[in-house]
A and B are shown apart, each in its own frame.
Chain A
Amino acid sequence: MIISLNRSQLARLLTIALIFPIIWLDSLYGILSYVGLDVVRVSLAFRMLLLALGLVLIYTQRGLLPSLLKSIILLWLLLLLIQSYPVGDTGFFSDLNIFLRWIYPFVITLLALYIYREYGVVEQLSEKGIAHFGWVFGAFMVFSFASGIGLDSYGDHAFGIKSFYVGGNDVGLAALISLCVLAAFFYEQLSWSSAGKLLLCFSGLTLLGTKAGWIGAAIILSVFFALYLLFKRSVTLQQRVAKTIVAIMLSVVVVSVSSFVHKNYELFEYQLTQIGQIMEGANPRALLVLAGERELQQHDKQADLVGLGERFYLGSGREHYLISNNSRVFDTYLIIEQDWYDLRGAFGVPFALFMSAMHLFFWFAAIALFFRQPTIRHFSFILALTIYLGHGYAAGHAFMGTQPSSLVGIIYALIVVQWQRLRQATPTAVQQTASQQRSGAVGH
């Protein structure tokens, strides 16, 4: 049997293959781990396949992004070589693991751009893919909450479950990014489907019980509901009724949640205390940063320039367990969980600036895009990237987390596509498109 696909079908198929399996494979891996089959690392195999394809593209494609990635690979290898002198204590394999995580979002961007370029742009499907992550995650979380099957986030001492997901922070950040896109869908078209998916994702984040998940979800939903209630144009009676229902339901939810939390304060005390401390300016990774700083202070200025590689994480582990309880063996590899520190400690300030600048470039591109075409989708990109970068610099798990990076990589590709389209269009066409999109964004 021969199946022939045209370019458009191929574009759809490849986009689906790139984005949609992430959450399912992570869930599958979690379930396998739960039943003791954690050696079957299906999600790792999928990511390695994407990385391998990405490496092929880096060395075959022309353009700014492949050139930047080639440069950063060379820079990283050079730094590893310098670090290995004069002792030869380089931890190449653990450094490789962490470096591949750092370039992963850009590899996803490269793959998505390749698909768009060669087979056609499927923006809506890509955005649906990002949204898909959030509501599937929410569905698994609700299932675990209802059935009691799954893992706890903090054990017995605090509220929170993480269903089958091994990394609570990673999956929580990815769900927040997804929530931004789901909220944009809800804003654009109020339907049972969009409301249900938004609710699922929000429920998942609430059940997860992480500080970032709660703060992030509260910010995203507050912003989007405020935009919806203040700026969404309601022309027909049906739209006005819908808006009123949303406003009433929102008030009911806020009052019910506040009342429930107040009555069951002990259940949420751990998170609420810590959120209060963060609001007062406490650093959520204070102890880890202290350990990293102590480790860096023991080395000369060269450590700032080229980093310490694996030695930074081992040293931070030693320093951390001077003051914290160490239940493991003596050698402990510990990341700081603040992306700037992790980048700087491992490979020095220039490398950290290079990697950060690549992410910041896309963030600024998203902001500029919004000013050129102020649509709710573009706003959701800004919010998602702000949360991604903010989480990375405050609590890590962003640049290193392959779950959020998968979604962010797609957002980067969508930003590039939008910009390329704007640059190719004539000024008149741009104005027309902008005006159409503006009316589409606020005119429902």
Chain B
Amino acid sequence: MLKSNQANGLHLADYWRWLRKHVLLTVIMLSIGVALSWTYWQQLPRLYQAQALLRIDPIAYNQGMVRKVDDLVLNQTGAAFAQPATTRPEARIAFYFSGAQFQADVAQHLATQFAPQWDAVDAALQAYGTTRHQQIEQYVARHLHTFRNAIDGGHGVQWYFYDPATAQQQLEHIIQLLDDNLRQVAINELTSQLQALASSSAADSKESAIYAEIESVLLSRLQIVQSPEFSILHRLMPAEVSSSPRYPNRIPVLAVGLITWCALWFTILNGYLLRHAVQRNEVMS
């Protein structure tokens, strides 16, 4: 038979007795917990959320500006079970959007375009790293959120900043940057196709008429992509910004602060009461 541990253990009544004996201390400790949590929540900077909904322009897709299958996506999912929906163009865009390279591009772009705004929030940025470059890269990694929905081919883009107007402007820049990058990818692809076509046509002079036709299609595509009016992305919803701060979350932050304080205090009290119970048992025996 196992030895009973209750002699050295506690009852809830032990806590209750202690609390009744030390009401004032309990109230003070609870008040300190509430005050500390509130102060912590108060000193966290306010972040506003800007978001937009966009998708690949169907015209761009139908005109062959965006490939159906992406090698990058296929290579990234080489596991045996991976059967992703890579034949849809939005998968490629989403992958590009969430990639480390695009985040680095965004960080660099925003660092140069919004330098005064970053300077204004220098104190808040200190938590993200030591150098400004590192701070903005980490900030972008944490606060640029993109979501994909396969049903409507849409992408949700969310971005956060310390004032609403800048958040909205920065999001516009991010979307424009994505569009520019995607267009550059399309231009590179078309250029490489034209180069491949040139070498093929040089080797095979019999089919020159067909090659010329393909070349004219590729050239017209290239012209469209290079045109300033052309956009690969189509806005389903313009960039909108929240009127009140999205973060910090008041209730969860206060709950975490207060519960951590109470748990710490309760654990110390538990240790004290257990030691007290041992001493009491020793005296009784």
Query: A residues engaging B (CB < 8 A)?
Result: 56, 59-63, 70, 73-74, 77-78, 80-81, 84-93, 116-118, 120-121, 274, 277, 280, 282-284, 286-287, 290, 294, 297-300, 318-319, 321-332, 417, 420-421, 424
Contact = CB atoms under 8 A, between A and B. Distances in A.
Interface in B60-81: 73, 76-77, 79-81
Interface in B235-255: 247-249, 251-253, 255
Given A121-B1, A294-B98, A86 B256 contact: no
Contacts of B266: 59
Given A92-B252, A93-B252, 8 more contacts: A56-B12, A62-B8, A88-B41, A92-B251, A117-B6, A274-B81, A290-B82, A326-B150
B11 A60 contact: yes
B6 A118 contact: yes
A318 B145 contact: yes
Given A300-B138, A417-B2, A90 B81 contact: no
Contacts of A299: 138, 141-142
Contact of B98 (A70, A81, A120, A322): A322
A77 B258 CA distance: 10
B267 A322 contact: no
Contact of B77 (A56, A323, A330): A323
B247 A117 contact: no
B5 A323 contact: no
Nearest to A295: B98
A290 B98 contact: no
B2 A117 contact: yes
Contact of A62 (B145, B146, B274): B274
A286 B41 contact: no
Nearest to B10: A60
Interface string B252-280: 11011101100110110010001000000
A62 B1 CA distance: 18
Which of B5, B15, B97, B127 has the largest count of A CB atoms less than 10 A from its CB? B5
A73 B263 CA distance: 8
Given A77-B263, A87-B44, A326-B149, A286 B8 contact: no
Nearest to A297: B100
B205 to A, nearest CB: 44
A424 B1 CA distance: 9
B79 A287 contact: yes
Most buried by B among A89, A280, A284: A89
Nearest to B257: A81
Contacts of B3: 117, 424
Tell which of B2, B11, B127, B274 has the most Cβ of chain A within 10 Å.
B2
B258 to A, nearest CB: 10
A247 B18 CA distance: 66
B100 A323 contact: no
B166 interface: no
Contacts of A86: 44-45, 124, 127-128
Contacts of B14: 60
A420 B256 contact: no
A325 B79 contact: no
A294 B15 CA distance: 47
B252 A90 contact: yes
A12 to B, nearest CB: 15
Interface stretch (B84-92, B109-117, B191-199, B221-229): B84-92
A299 B148 CA distance: 21
A90 B79 contact: no
Contacts of A283: 79, 81
A274 B9 CA distance: 51
Given A60-B9, A77-B259, A287-B81, A321 B76 contact: no
A282 B81 contact: yes
Contacts of B98: 294, 318-319, 322
A52 to B, nearest CB: 12
A319 B73 CA distance: 12
B149 A121 contact: no
A187 B269 CA distance: 50
A88 B253 contact: yes
Given A56-B12, A88-B44, A117 B5 contact: yes
A331 B246 CA distance: 15
A299 B2 CA distance: 49
A420 B145 contact: no
Interface in B110-154: 124, 127-129, 138, 141-143, 145-151
B81 A286 contact: yes
A84 B84 contact: no
Contacts of A294: 98
Contacts of A60: 9-12, 14
B82 A321 contact: no
A309 B24 CA distance: 36
B285 interface: no
Given A60-B9, A86-B45, A87-B44, A326 B141 contact: no
A322 B91 contact: yes
A422 to B, nearest CB: 12
Contacts of A93: 252, 255
A174 B97 CA distance: 41
B2 A286 contact: no
B94 interface: yes
B47 A90 contact: no
A299 B4 CA distance: 49
Contact of A298 (B9, B103, B263): B103
